[in-house]
Amino acid sequence: MTFTTAPQGRVVDAWLAATRQELTAPAEVLSRTANLWLQALPPDAPPKFADAAHHVARRAHQLLEIIPKFIRPAQSLTPDQERTLRHDLRGHAAYVIGIAHLWQKQLDRLRLDRFASILERLAEAAHHIVAVLDRLASFRRGSTESDDSVSLAELMRLLDELPASQERGEILVVDDNPYNRQYLTELLTQQGHRVVVADDGESALRLLETGSVDLILLDVLMPGMSGFGLLERLKTSPRWQHIPVIMVSSLEEQRSVVNCIARGAEDYLTRPVDPLLLRARIGASLEKKRLRDREVNYLNRIDQLLHALFPPQVVAEVRETSTVRPRRHDKVGVLFADVVGFTSYCDQHRHWPEIVVESLQRHYLAFERIARGHGVQKIKTIGDSFMGTAGLLTPHENPVRALIECGLEMIASAKANFPSWDLRVGIHVGPVVAGVVGETQFSFDLWGDTVNIAARMESVGLPGTITLSPDAWREVENVGQVQTRTVEIRGKGTMTVYRFLDFRE
DSSP codes joined into one string, 306-327: HHHHS-HHHHHHHHHHSS---E
**In this structure, are 369 and 228 located in the same domain?**
no
Write the DSSP string, 51-65. HHHHHHHHHHHHHHH
**In this structure, are 278 and 317 located in the same domain?**
no
Would the pTM count as exceeding 0.75? no
Question: pLDDT: is 160 or 439 the higher one?
Answer: 439
> What does the pLDDT average to over 176-184?
82
**In this structure, are 348 and 459 located in the same domain?**
yes
- Domain at 277, CATH number: 3.40.50.2300
Q: What is the pLDDT of residue 290?
A: 84
Q: What is the pLDDT of residue 4?
A: 38
Domain assignment present for residue 303? The answer is no
Q: With beta carbons less than 8 A apart as the criterion, state whether 162 and 280 touch.
A: yes
Range from 67-71, 267-271, 413-417 that averages highest in pLDDT:
413-417
**In this structure, are 140 and 178 located in the same domain?**
no
CB atoms within 10 A of CB 274: 22
- The partner residues of 503 in beta bridges, in order of sequence, read 480
Give the pLDDT band of residue 468 (cuts 50, 70, 90): very high
- Which of 112, 145, 178 is at the close of a domain? 145
Q: What is the pLDDT of residue 66?
A: 84
**In this structure, are 340 and 289 located in the same domain?**
no
**In this structure, are 274 and 356 located in the same domain?**
no
**In this structure, are 56 and 134 located in the same domain?**
yes
Domain assignment present for residue 160? The answer is no
Give the pLDDT band of residue 18 (cuts 50, 70, 90): low
- Which of 112, 130, 145 is at the close of a domain? 145
Give the pLDDT band of residue 349 (cuts 50, 70, 90): confident
Q: What is the pLDDT of residue 186?
A: 81
Q: Does pLDDT of 399 surpass 80? A: yes
Q: Does pLDDT of 146 surpass 50? A: no
Q: With beta carbons less than 8 A apart as the criterion, state whether 2 and 77 touch.
A: yes
**In this structure, are 141 and 229 located in the same domain?**
no
Q: What is the pLDDT of residue 505?
A: 64
Domain assignment present for residue 49? The answer is yes
Domain assignment present for residue 204? The answer is yes
- Which of 294, 324, 348 is at the close of a domain? 294
Domain assignment present for residue 206? The answer is yes
- Domain at 339, CATH number: 3.30.70.1230
Domain assignment present for residue 155? The answer is no
Q: What is the pLDDT of residue 29?
A: 83
Mean pLDDT lowest among 39-43, 134-138, 379-383: 134-138
Q: What is the pLDDT of residue 19?
A: 63
**In this structure, are 113 and 17 located in the same domain?**
yes
Give the pLDDT band of residue 467 (cuts 50, 70, 90): very high
Q: How many domains does the chain have?
A: 3
Q: Does pLDDT of 265 surpass 80? A: yes
- The partner residues of 499 in beta bridges, in order of sequence, read 467, 483
Give the pLDDT band of residue 257 (cuts 50, 70, 90): confident
Q: How far is Cα 315 from Cα 321, in angstroms, rounded to an integer? A: 10
Mean pLDDT lowest among 1-15, 27-41, 369-383: 1-15
Question: pLDDT: is 273 or 246 the higher one?
Answer: 246
Q: How far is Cα 497 from Cα 430, in angstroms, rounded to an integer? A: 16
> What does the pLDDT average to over 318-326?
73
Q: Does pLDDT of 215 surpass 50? A: yes
Q: Does pLDDT of 410 surpass 90? A: yes
Domain assignment present for residue 165? The answer is no
The region that residue 30 occupies, defined by phi over 0 for left and psi between -120 and 50 for alpha, beta otherwise, is: alpha
Q: Does pLDDT of 90 surpass 90? A: no
Q: Does pLDDT of 217 surpass 80? A: yes
> What does the pLDDT average to over 162-191?
79
**In this structure, are 389 and 460 located in the same domain?**
yes
The three-state (H, E, C) secondary structure of 128-164, written as one string:
HHHHHHHHHHHHHCCCCCCCHHHHHHHHHHHHHHCCC
Q: What is the pLDDT of residue 327?
A: 86
The three-state (H, E, C) secondary structure of 391-430, written as one string:
CCCCCCCCHHHHHHHHHHHHHHHHHHCCCCCCEEEEEEEE
Give the pLDDT band of residue 445 (cuts 50, 70, 90): confident
**In this structure, are 440 and 365 located in the same domain?**
yes
Q: Does pLDDT of 455 surpass 60? A: yes
Query: Closest by alpha carbon to 63, among 36, 35, 29, 39?
Result: 29
Q: Which domain holds residue 490?
A: 312-503
Mean pLDDT lowest among 140-149, 419-428, 465-474: 140-149
**In this structure, are 234 and 357 located in the same domain?**
no
- Give every CB contact of residue 255 below 8 A, 6+ residues apart in sequence: none
Percent of the chain with pLDDT over 90: 32
pLDDT in tens, 26-42: 888 888 888 888 888 88
Question: pLDDT: is 133 or 472 the higher one?
Answer: 472
Q: What is the pLDDT of residue 482?
A: 93
Q: What is the pLDDT of residue 67?
A: 81
- The partner residues of 386 in beta bridges, in order of sequence, read 337, 381
pLDDT in tens, 98-114: 888 888 888 888 888 88
Q: What is the pLDDT of residue 310?
A: 66
Q: Does pLDDT of 420 surpass 80? A: yes
Give the pLDDT band of residue 16 (cuts 50, 70, 90): low
Domain assignment present for residue 261? The answer is yes
Range from 54-68, 155-169, 419-433 that averages highest in pLDDT:
419-433
